[in-house]
Amino acid sequence: MDDAQGSRVKKLKNEAELFRAALEAGVKYGEERGVVEFEPTDSTNEKALYIYRLLVHDKLIAPIPEEQVSQKSIRRRLAIWHARQLPKDDPLLT
């Protein structure tokens, strides 16, 4: 990827940990907003897709072109979303 976001994606460290933190933050966001109540049986993939669509709907993240939506792209987009909310000295960013 040659665009600005693509170059940021390549530099994203701790992506798995950022995704886990993003999932937790996204669940909290959705539940506090009152639009979803996740069940213990909901899979990580189901939660990630719902959170991604909610954040796009609320215009907090840019949508991925529909033909490019996959679990990998959703995980990366959520990790980037969460990373941008963290202070620059957060351990997940180093």
**34-80 pLDDT per residue, tens:** 999 999 999 999 999 999 999 999 999 999 999 999 999 999 999 99
What's the whole-model pTM score?
Answer: 0.84
Tens-place pLDDT, residues 7-16: 344 567 899 9
pLDDT at 11: 64
65 secondary structure, DSSP code:
P
In-domain check, residue 34: yes
Domain span holding position 44: 12-93
From the CB of residue 79, how many other CB atoms can be counted at a distance below 10 Å?
23
> Helices 15-33 and 44-57, interaxial angle, to 10°?
70
Question: Please, are residues 48 and 78 in contact by the beta-carbon 8 Å criterion?
Answer: yes
69 belongs to a structural domain: yes
CATH number at residue 44: 1.20.120.1930
Is 23 or 9 the better-scoring residue by pLDDT?
23
Does the residue 67 lie in any domain? yes
Q: Which of 9-13, 15-19, 86-90 has the lowest mean pLDDT?
A: 9-13
Task: Tally the domains of the chain.
Answer: 1
- Residue 7 inside a domain? The answer is no
DSSP annotation of 90: -
Residue 6 lies in a domain: no
